[in-house]
Homo-oligomer: A and B are copies of this chain.
Amino acid sequence: MKVVVLAGGVGGSRFLRGVRARLRQELPDGSGGTTAQLTAVVNTGDDLWLAGLRITPDLDTILYTLAGINDTDRGWGRVGDTERVSAELAEWGVGHPWFTLGDLDLAASIARTAWLREGIPLHEVATRLQARWPLGLRLLPATDDEVETHVVVDDPDHPGRRRELHFQEWWTRYRASLAARAFVQDCVDAAAPAPGVLEALADADVVLLAPSNPVVSIGTILGIPGLRDAVRATAAPVVGISPIIGGAVVRGMADACLTAIGVSTDAAAVARHYGRRSDDAVPGGGLLDGWLVDEVDAAGADALTRDGIRTRAVPLWLRDEASSAAVAAAALDLAAELARR
Question: Which residues of B lie under 8 Å from residue A110 when comparing CB positions?
Answer: 51-53, 85, 89, 94, 106, 110
Say how far A191's CB is from chain B's closest CB, in angstroms.
22
Are the CB atoms of B92 and A132 closer together than 8 Å?
Answer: yes
| B contact residues around A106 at 8 Å (CB) | 85, 110
Q: Which residue of B lies closest to A89 (CB)?
A: B107
A107 proximity list for chain B (CB < 8 A)? 84-85, 88-89, 91-92
CB within 8 A of A132: which of B82, B89, B91, B132?
A: B91
User: Is A114's CB within 8 Å of the partner chain B?
Assistant: yes
Give Cα A106 to B104, complex, Å.
13
Contact B52 A113 (CB under 8 A): yes
A341 at the interface (CB under 8 A from B): no
B-chain residues with CB within 8 Å of residue A88 when the two chains form the complex: 103-104, 107-108
- The count of identical subunits is 2
User: A306 at the A/B interface (Cβ < 8 Å)?
Assistant: no
Is A319 an interface residue when CB atoms closer than 8 A count as contact? no
Tell whether, in the assembled complex, residue A114 and residue B51 are in contact, meaning their CB atoms are under 8 Å apart: yes
**Chain B residues closer than 8 Å to A165, beta-carbon distance:** none
Give every chain B residue within 8 A of A82 (Cβ-Cβ).
84
For residue A129, which residue of chain B has the nearest CB? B92
- Taking CB atoms, residues of chain B closer than 8 Å to A89 are 107, 110-111
Counting chain B CB atoms within 10 Å of each CB, the highest count among A53, A89, A107 belongs to A107
Contact (Cβ within 8 A) A108 B132: no
Q: Beyond A91-B132, A92-B132, A132-B92, is A84–B111 a contact (Cβ under 8 Å)?
A: no
Chain B minimum-CB-distance residue to A104:
B88
CA distance A251 to B155 in the complex (A): 59
Please name 8 pairs of A and B residues whose Cβ atoms are closer than 8 Å in the assembled complex, sorted by A: A51-B110, A52-B114, A84-B103, A84-B104, A85-B110, A88-B108, A91-B107, A110-B110
Which 9 interchain pairs have the tightest Cβ spacing?
A52-B114, A88-B107, A92-B111, A94-B111, A85-B107, A51-B114, A84-B103, A52-B117, A52-B113
Binding site for B on A (CB under 8 A): 51-53, 82, 84-85, 88-89, 91-95, 103-104, 106-108, 110-111, 113-115, 117, 128-129, 132
